[in-house]
Amino acid sequence: MIDETAPASRRNNVREKSVMPFKLALSLLKASSLGALCVTAAVSLAGCGTDDLAMGSIRSDDYHDRHPIVLAQAPATLDVFPLGQGKLDPASIDDIRIFAARYRAVGNGRLLILAPAVGGHATRTAVDEIRRVLMSAGLHESIGLGSYPVADATLASPIRLSFRTLKAEVVSRCGQWPHDLASGSEIEGWKNESYWNFGCATQSVLAAQVDDPRDFARARALGPSDVQMRLRAINDVRQGQDPGTNWTTQLTPIGQVGGN
């Protein structure tokens, strides 16, 4: 409370002291309100971003993400078609030996010989011959026998060799077109994005061609260095010569077409 009978200088000091706490409180209130508004806006933006990601509005246009190559346990098979009376030709014998070598390298479990359920004497003869070929390739205790049902007895039914192994494959199925590229009735075709099936065939062929599927999951170690090449390069440097290799190209008549 201000004493009006006091001198003017004293009354002004009292007024300033009473007004300062009010100004300070008002400033703090404004700062806290602004901070709360910023926090609210940030939370709202974060919530919108989360909703967009959850709804899949940000879609990857990379075919590696749409059609990824994965590693899975899958059967490796070889179909053998014996000749008359269950005999095997030399080409089939070579295929069986290569299949046996593949089993020793990457096979899991037992190698199964699956004969058609409607097979007769010729089929049993062919199975016995296949077993002898596998045993000659070093497989003695890893061979199992079984059968599979035949849907159509009029068709040729092979003797199937099978074992479990690690394979690289594409998760998605190729040939799917969820949107019409030429349709003007929807805005899906107006987007500057690759179509859904893009890259699926390339990924599938790549997965089938790689010899060791583990190459998709880890890098191989470096091989040994070429000692002779290093010694040659060091010797050239010591003699003041260029250690690089001079590559020469000789054009054949086909390579000269269009050169003139």
Q: How far apart are CA 176 and CA 196, in angstroms?
A: 7
Per-residue pLDDT reduced to its tens digit, 1-38 = 545 555 555 555 545 544 445 454 445 445 555 444 44
Q: What is the DSSP letter of 18?
A: H
In a domain, 189, yes or no: no
In sequence order, the β-bridge partners of residue 169 are 70
Q: What is the DSSP letter of 6?
A: S
Per-residue pLDDT reduced to its tens digit, 121-149 = 889 999 999 999 999 998 888 899 999 99
In a domain, 103, yes or no: yes
In a domain, 255, yes or no: no
In a domain, 204, yes or no: no
Distance, C-alpha 71 to centroid of its chain: 8
- Amino acid residing at 80: V
Per-residue pLDDT reduced to its tens digit, 214-259 = 999 988 888 888 899 999 999 999 999 998 888 887 777 776 666 5
Domain tally, the chain = 1
Domain containing residue 108: CATH number: 3.30.1330.60
Q: How far apart are CA 52 and CA 48, in angstroms?
A: 6
In a domain, 147, yes or no: yes
Candidates 81, 69, 80, 86; CA nearest to 123 is 86
Q: Is 173 helix (H, G, I), strand (E, B) or coil?
A: coil
Per-residue pLDDT reduced to its tens digit, 87-111 = 999 999 999 999 999 999 889 899 9
In a domain, 149, yes or no: yes
Among all chains, which residue has been given the structure tokens 């074992």? 163
Q: What is the mean pLDDT of residues 169-177?
A: 88
The pLDDT of residue 73:
92
The pLDDT of residue 221:
86
Structural domain range at position 151: 75-164
Q: How far apart are CA 93 and CA 81, in angstroms?
A: 11
224-227, long-range: CB < 8 A, 24+ apart: none
In a domain, 91, yes or no: yes
Q: What is the DSSP string of 36-103?
A: HHHHHHHHHHHHHHHHHHHHT-S----HHHHS-EEEEEEEEEEEE---GGG---HHHHHHHHHHHHHH
Token digits for 209?
């061609």
In a domain, 207, yes or no: no
pTM value is 0.57
Q: How far is CA 36 from CA 44, 108, 178, in A?
A: 12, 62, 46
Per-residue pLDDT reduced to its tens digit, 190-207 = 777 788 899 999 999 999
The pLDDT of residue 44:
46
225-229, long-range: CB < 8 A, 24+ apart: none
Please calculate the CA angle 219-220-225 and round it to the nearest 5 degrees: 130
Per-residue pLDDT reduced to its tens digit, 34-87 = 444 444 444 444 444 444 444 344 456 788 998 999 999 999 999 999 988 889
The pLDDT of residue 164:
94
Phi, psi torsion values for 144, nearest 5 degrees: -120, 155
